[in-house]
């Protein structure tokens, strides 16, 4: 079961408590999580929650992928929350593994979306 709206709300509030300078950038989120529908559902046309992961290796490199679904933009690995994700962190780690995990480099497949 994906994270509930209340769990997402708590995560965002915790983030804003630690980083109050981000309040303006995240000001539109309350309108999303207050909706009665599942805020992680792809069908939420007004906006929905996705997750990304940023990894920095020992040489201070950060992997990025070219997303076909995002008109070829170079982005950090990430995507939609799935029903099996129990927390937002689970979704981010799953997406990282799917898109940039072992064996993905140079394959032209999911790692190059």
| Model confidence pLDDT, tens digit, residues 25-47 | 888 777 766 766 676 766 765 66
> Is residue 86 classed as helix, strand or coil in its secondary structure?
coil
Q: Quote the pLDDT of residue 70.
A: 65
Number of separate helices (H) and strands (E) present in the chain = 3, 4
- Over the stretch 59-113, which tens digit does the pLDDT of each residue have? 888 877 777 766 777 878 888 888 888 888 888 888 888 887 766 554 433 444 3
Q: Which H or E run includes 31?
A: helix 29-33
Q: Classify residue 30 by its DSSP letter.
A: H
Question: Average pLDDT of 9-21?
Answer: 86
- Over residues 47-54, mean pLDDT: 74
pLDDT attached to residue 2: 67
d(CA 27, CA 72): 28
Instruction: Please report, in angstroms and rounded to a whole number, the separation of the first and last CA atoms in the chain.
Output: 26
């Amino acid at each position: 079961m994906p994270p509930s709206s209340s769990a997402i709300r708590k995560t965002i509030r915790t983030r804003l408590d630690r980083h109050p300078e981000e309040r303006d950038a995240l000001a539109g989120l309350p309108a999303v999580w207050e909706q009665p529908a599942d805020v992680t559902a792809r069908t939420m046309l007004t906006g929905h929650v996705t997750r990304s992961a940023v990894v920095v290796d020992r040489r201070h490199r950060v992997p990025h992928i070219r997303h076909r679904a995002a008109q070829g933009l170079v982005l950090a690995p990430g995507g939609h929350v799935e029903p099996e994700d129990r927390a937002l962190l689970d979704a981010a780690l799953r997406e990282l593994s799917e898109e940039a995990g072992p064996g993905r480099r140079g394959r032209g497949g999911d790692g190059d979306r």
